[in-house]
């Protein structure tokens, strides 16, 4: 197994974590990554695509390699385009393993009061000052622990999705569960709040207006089903997204209206 920098890697203390959309095809873990026996350990988020007994071994190996490589390429493309995504830490396509930077924070779904998607969601608060960790309601926690308003959070979401689509990356599973809010800092800057898009297992590259509109529609449906009375919030997402993508917004907005209409028709006919 090698890291993204091609150095030998050792993984220890792997703890299984439940996962939502792709739970049937992979397992996820929090583990410690050691570049060498003497190096300091780094927490990583591991995605393991296990062998499928119902598939021919050759086909299974080929599909696993393709999906691991595809997700790694997509994440690297996002990183190069300035999209906030977890850093890639290791790739082992033959074993079906991807390792990502561990993001300490909370999902937007939890912060907006939506809870987890049918399962317990881990809460990460180790990076927050002790006086900011509380049992407050999600709305007040957003403003006290992360010091931003819901409107500001929606602006961050619209901006990140806009950057991603300008890079022609389609997420494929845009929900508030796949967005993490966390504190970040560097030697040259003071701590700031950052929104990170995660889980690119269903992502692909496309410049088609249709695909970008469908990506937005998936997120809109997630807002409607998870966060009551969220229409004003999602309107801010689209407003900031439109400013980010610029001249592309006119055609994407028109196609989004078409996708909404098709979605309503499908709902009416069952």
Domains of the chain: 11-101 (3.30.200.20), 105-112+143-268 (1.10.510.10)
The 3-state secondary structure of the chain, one letter per residue: CEECCCCECEEEEEEEECCCCCCCCCEEEEEEEECCCCCCCEEEEEEECCCCCCCCHHHHHHHHHHHHHHHHHHHHHHHHCCCCCCCEEEEECCCCEEEEECCCCEEHHHHCCCCCCCCCCCCCCCCCCHHHCCCCCHHHHHHHHCCCCHHHHHHHHHHHHHHHHHCCEECCCCCHHHEEEEEEEECCEEEEEEEEECCCCCCEECCCHHHHHHHHHHHHHHHHHHCCCCHHHHHHHHHHHHHHHHHHHHHHHHHHHHHHHHHHHHHHHC
Q: Output the pLDDT for position 19.
A: 53
Catalytic residue among 60, 151, 168, 173: 173
pLDDT tens per residue across span 211-261: 999 999 999 999 998 887 888 999 999 999 999 999 999 999 999 999 999
pLDDT tens per residue across span 64-106: 899 999 999 999 999 999 999 999 999 998 888 999 999 999 9
pTM: 0.83
Residue 257 known to be catalytic: no
């Amino acid at each position: 197994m090698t890291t993204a920098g091609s150095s030998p890697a050792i993984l220890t203390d792997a703890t299984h974590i439940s996962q939502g959309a792709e739970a049937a095809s992979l397992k996820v873990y929090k583990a410690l990554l050691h570049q060498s026996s003497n190096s300091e350990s780094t927490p990583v988020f591991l995605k393991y695509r296990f062998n499928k007994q119902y598939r021919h071994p050759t086909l299974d190996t080929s599909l696993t390699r393709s999906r691991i490589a595809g997700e790694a390429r997509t994440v690297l493309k996002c990183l190069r385009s300035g999209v906030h995504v977890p850093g890639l830490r290791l790739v082992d396509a033959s074993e079906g393993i991807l390792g990502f930077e561990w993001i300490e924070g909370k999902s937007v779904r939890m912060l907006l009061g939506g809870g987890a998607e049918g399962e317990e969601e881990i809460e990460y608060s180790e990076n927050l000052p002790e006086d900011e960790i509380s049992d407050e309601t999600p709305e007040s926690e957003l403003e006290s622990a992360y010091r931003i308003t819901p409107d500001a959070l929606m602006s961050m979401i619209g901006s990140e999705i806009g950057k991603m689509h300008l890079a022609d990356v389609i997420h494929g599973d845009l929900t508030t569960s796949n967005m993490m809010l966390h504190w970040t800092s560097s030697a040259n800057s003071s701590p700031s709040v950052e929104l990170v898009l995660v889980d690119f297992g269903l992502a692909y590259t496309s410049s088609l207006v249709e695909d970008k509109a469908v990506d937005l529609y998936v997120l809109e449906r997630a807002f409607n089903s998870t966060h009551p009375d969220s229409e004003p919030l999602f309107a801010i997402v689209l407003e900031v997204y439109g400013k980010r993508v610029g001249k592309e917004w006119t055609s994407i907005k028109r196609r989004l209206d078409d996708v909404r209409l098709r979605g309503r028709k499908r709902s009416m006919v069952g």
